[in-house]
Structure 1
Amino acid sequence: MLRVVSARCAAAGLGRPRAVYSIRRPVCLSVSPHSGLADEKLHVRVQGLSPSEPVTLRAVVVDEQGCLFDSCAHYAADSCGTVDVQRDAAVGGDYTGVLPMGLLWSLSPSVMEKPYQRLRKRSVHKAPMVVELLVHKGHTGPKALPGGVLAKTRLERLFMAPGVRRVRLREGAVRGSLFLPPGEGSYPAVIDMFGDEGGLVEYRSSLLASRGIASLALPYFAFEDLPPAMTEFHLEYFEEAANFLSRHPKTRGSVVGVIGSGKGADLALSMITYLPQVVAAVSISGCCANTAAPLNYKDVTIPALTYNMSRVQILETAVFNVSEALDDPLDPANLDCLIPVEKAQGSFMFIVGEDDLNWKSSVYAKVAMSRLQDNGKNNYEVLSYPGAGHQIDPPCSPFCPVAMDRVLGVPILGGGDLKAHCQAQEDSWQKIQDFFSVHLK
């Protein structure tokens, strides 16, 4: 076009014209909140694009081990040159549709990293998790080299609200971390446990304390001087933790709650069954029977429901499906493994994903409920989520349908659909807090 104008000008004797270029206004990427708790939703907007311009939004996180996680989604600007992730649908990338938190939900190990690693915060009391958001030209797939960067920003995801205190605990035999909400008041108190990954896992406890619930992150093996493996359990250890928490000057009254995921969930059921100071239990993707190793308490021993590895399926992707491996708790030979939840005087909340492929947590919750109903009890509520998988974490946690198993050392299928699973995390989180607030008076 410039050549044509030059020729016309020359013919008219006007000389060579100046080149006229359109000046593009800078692209602006805004995120709110720029620094906030890790369970808070984000509002992401891009402005200054051309109408209908295609762009790729990317999120990048480097975890504390140096592993790179990323995600991407394709968008097209509206007639005003704006992309609003709360309003607009992604048309490709790691997800499609209107998913305001999709960039965080779909974070997974980068192509150069070992697959099946989980992004989780290990040192909640140190630096926040930093997420870099970028806007790239055009639509590029997850494994392709992205286009040029039009805008970028960094945001912080905090796991401890200002004023929350973390106290490392070595009280008698009990180990762990106690998280106390800010202020001088007394707070409802819970014990928080995870599954067979072992060690000290703090991110849920720190977020509970940030929401006003004192929480003791309680390891029970593979930490400091605790047993290195799950060979047997003694409920007296958990009783000592409950006694400590119920007597703490910052906690409310003389009762506590307990929340557990996986193996931690059946331990939670055992605690509320046998320990009178435990009056509220949240079981997340748990079993109605004692698993992994025998559980002893005074003169009672509950044998462990065992795994039959011959029932494990190895998929074409070399991922292991262990959903059928655990023995049937209702088999007459296994009835002694069932936890007698009908003896509990407290209240239960069962949270399950109906697409849990780690084990049949939905079935196990129904077994526990039947025992309660058969004994005339209605002290329970159930949150059952279609399309959700095994690891139901606080909201905004990335979806991890396959994860490396600490014990087996192989990738294990957890199940679930991205949108349904992450919506279950959002819905259950507030209901967990409400449950404890009601029952820990």
Structure 2
Amino acid sequence: MVASSLAVLRGSRLCQWSWKSWARLLGPSPLIRGGQTTWARTNATLSLEPAGRSCWDEPLSISVRGLAPEQPVTLRAALHDEKGALFSAHARYRADAHGELDLARAPALGGSFAGLEPMGLLWAMEPDRPFWRLVKRDVQTPFVVELEVLEGHEPEGGRQLAKAVHERHFMAPGVRRVPVREGRVRATLFLPPEPGPYPGIIDLFGVGGGLLEYRASLLAGKGFAVMALAYYNYDGLPKTMDILHLEYFEEAVNYLLRHPQVKGSGVGVLGISKGGELGLAMASFLKTITAAVIINGSISSVGGTLHYKDETVLPVGMNKNRVKRTKDGLKDVVDALNNPLEGPDRKSLIPVERSDTTFLFLVGQDDHNWRSEFYAREASKRLQAHGKEKPQVICYPDTGHYIEPPYFPLCKASLHSLVGGPVIWGGQPRPHAMAQVDAWQQLQMFFRKHLGGEERTVPSKL
């Protein structure tokens, strides 16, 4: 039809345009070859905003221009972690009538996810290694994300139409990283770029040990002085967590309170998993914890004994016969721990009822590490029964154990150091991703309210 129209016009005196002019006007068109549709080469461009680089917890706008009208394409994103593991995701799309594609308006037609998911190419990433979790260990370097636009809906066979490389950083411009080796304390303090003082927060992770800084470094970009604190298996600290002394954590709190860039007479604590349990213990025994955010934490000591001065909290018991197996042969340990409200295991309970701290519990309702919602509800009951303020409990359906900063992909299963093998963590990718975005905002609002501080916006360009 197009060719015959051009032939007629070419013989007419009205035809003053070249064939190339008509091609520019009509745009690329599909060609039928052997019963299959292919697309003429386009001048596709892949645009990202912010361009070039951004902070990991910052939304990223992704759009494509210069495609043929309604052209089918596949978008793919990939990054390598610091140990060389590949994480990737892909989704199928169709350009609009103008040959444009905006992930904020165009639903994915399938692939790693479906529907309107502007950040799906990041949170839906999966590793090429089994039982592998995406963790950032060196926050002074970014993750480098490669994005591609591929022709058609076959991610492995489509011709590349456009490509972009984007750096996702973990330190906002001007954030200062200060290693701390003070007495026994082994930590890293992150300070915002503007003049202080700031609200102080101690950040604790789980049973993996060592020192993880990525959550603290991101949070410092929001206007908080955040200390990422190691507590075992790191730089002269105990090799195991069989026995932990809360005096160590008290020493870290006192260091933070003495720091000239930290304001107020108390600090906040942010903990996940075992770090949530320790945050609850700090709030129960130490009087200088003003606000605590507990992410999927336990109300009893797990995996070791806690000591503070002349008091001891014993570890809760575990019954290996209650460990289940999934259809894939992985361990499900959600019922393995004994009920800390029954029998001798009551000695494992952390005395949360003593605390005058204000609490926020963030709970994944599909947590398969332990019964996080039960623990949060029980902590709330015990506080209220002793005349304390009712804590805020936010529960997220279909959300697993590792509630991370926004856009970290769901870790479905990985090695558990206490169990000695791979376990499932629970959660479904999309609701888990949405929970992470909300939880990140909730904890910031909570700390600003109870520690003081102004809302800070991460610059759009680094």
TM over 0.5: yes
Distance between the aligned counterparts of 2:271 and 2:437, measured in 1?
A: 17
Secondary structure at the aligned position of 1:244 is classed as helix
* Matching residue of 2:46: 29
Aligned residues: 423
* 2:445 is the alignment partner of 1:434: yes
Distance between the aligned counterparts of 1:58 and 1:275, measured in 2?
A: 49
* 2:138 is the alignment partner of 1:123: yes
* 2:383 is the alignment partner of 1:368: no
Q: Residue deviations 1:227-248, cap 9 Å, x none? A: 1111111000000001100111
* 2:75 is the alignment partner of 1:64: no
Q: Residue deviations 1:37-56, cap 9 Å, x none? A: 11001111111112221111
Distance verdict in 2 for CA 1:428–1:250, change over 3 Å: same
Distance between the aligned counterparts of 1:160 and 1:354, measured in 2?
A: 31
Secondary structure at the aligned position of 2:153 is classed as coil
* Matching residue of 1:79: 97
Distance verdict in 2 for CA 1:379–1:439, change over 3 Å: farther
Point out the more displaced range, 396-405 or 416-425. Answer: 396-405
Distance verdict in 2 for CA 1:99–1:2, change over 3 Å: closer
- 1:63, CA displacement in angstroms? 1.1
The correspondence of residues 39-118 of structure 1 with structure 2, limited to 5 A, is 39-110=57-128, 114-118=129-133
Residue identity (%): 46
* Matching residue of 2:32: none
8 A contact 2:42–2:68 mirrored in 1: no
Distance between the aligned counterparts of 2:46 and 2:164, measured in 1?
A: 7
Distance verdict in 2 for CA 1:199–1:54, change over 3 Å: same
8 A contact 1:181–1:213 mirrored in 2: yes
1:140 counterpart letter in structure 2: E
* 2:158 is the alignment partner of 1:147: yes
Gaps of at least 5 residues in structure 2 are 6-17, 29-40, 453-462
Distance between the aligned counterparts of 1:46 and 1:407, measured in 2?
A: 46
* Matching residue of 2:201: 190
Distance between the aligned counterparts of 1:218 and 1:283, measured in 2?
A: 15
Match of 2:367 among 351, 356, 368: 356
* Matching residue of 1:275: 286
- 1:332, CA displacement in angstroms? 2.6
Distance between the aligned counterparts of 2:272 and 2:122, measured in 1?
A: 22
Q: Residue deviations 1:371-411, cap 9 Å, x none? A: 01212222411111111111001111111122222344422
Point out the more displaced range, 127-136 or 405-414. Answer: 405-414
* 2:408 is the alignment partner of 1:402: no
* Matching residue of 1:8: none
The correspondence of residues 411-430 of structure 1 with structure 2, limited to 5 A, is 411-430=422-441
Point out the more displaced range, 253-262 or 44-53. Answer: 44-53
Match of 2:235 among 220, 224, 245: 224
Q: Residue deviations 1:65-119, cap 9 Å, x none? A: 1111111111111111122111111111111111111010011113xxx212111
- 1:201, CA displacement in angstroms? 0.5
8 A contact 1:197–1:407 mirrored in 2: no
Secondary structure at the aligned position of 1:92 is classed as coil
Secondary structure at the aligned position of 1:134 is classed as strand
The correspondence of residues 317-336 of structure 1 with structure 2, limited to 5 A, is 317-336=328-347
1:61 counterpart letter in structure 2: L
8 A contact 1:108–1:119 mirrored in 2: no
Distance between the aligned counterparts of 1:376 and 1:82, measured in 2?
A: 59
1:212 counterpart letter in structure 2: G
- 1:19, CA displacement in angstroms? 9.6
- 1:347, CA displacement in angstroms? 0.3
Distance between the aligned counterparts of 1:146 and 1:309, measured in 2?
A: 47
* 2:298 is the alignment partner of 1:287: yes
Distance between the aligned counterparts of 2:160 and 2:199, measured in 1?
A: 47
Distance between the aligned counterparts of 1:310 and 1:52, measured in 2?
A: 56
- 1:292, CA displacement in angstroms? 1.2
- 1:25, CA displacement in angstroms? 4.1
8 A contact 1:2–1:19 mirrored in 2: no
Distance between the aligned counterparts of 1:168 and 1:422, measured in 2?
A: 31
Runs of 4+ in 1 over 3 A off after TM superposition: 1-5, 18-25, 406-409
Distance between the aligned counterparts of 1:164 and 1:19, measured in 2?
A: 56
1:122 counterpart letter in structure 2: R
Distance between the aligned counterparts of 1:377 and 1:277, measured in 2?
A: 17
Distance between the aligned counterparts of 1:213 and 1:150, measured in 2?
A: 43
* 2:147 is the alignment partner of 1:133: yes
1:124 counterpart letter in structure 2: V
* Matching residue of 2:398: 387
Distance between the aligned counterparts of 2:238 and 2:161, measured in 1?
A: 52
- 1:265, CA displacement in angstroms? 0.3
2:94 counterpart letter in structure 1: A
* Matching residue of 2:187: 176
2:132 counterpart letter in structure 1: Q
* Matching residue of 1:9: none
8 A contact 1:346–1:379 mirrored in 2: no
- 1:422, CA displacement in angstroms? 0.8
Point out the more displaced range, 44-53 or 256-265. Answer: 44-53
Distance between the aligned counterparts of 1:224 and 1:155, measured in 2?
A: 34
Distance between the aligned counterparts of 2:2 and 2:199, measured in 1?
A: 73
Secondary structure at the aligned position of 1:403 is classed as strand
8 A contact 1:269–1:341 mirrored in 2: yes
Gaps of at least 5 residues in structure 1 are 6-17
Distance verdict in 2 for CA 1:80–1:172, change over 3 Å: same
Distance between the aligned counterparts of 1:400 and 1:139, measured in 2?
A: 27
The correspondence of residues 339-354 of structure 1 with structure 2, limited to 5 A, is 339-354=350-365
Q: Residue deviations 1:338-383, cap 9 Å, x none? A: 1111111110010001111111101110110110121222241111
Q: Residue deviations 1:176-223, cap 9 Å, x none? A: 111111122100001000011111010000011111111110111111
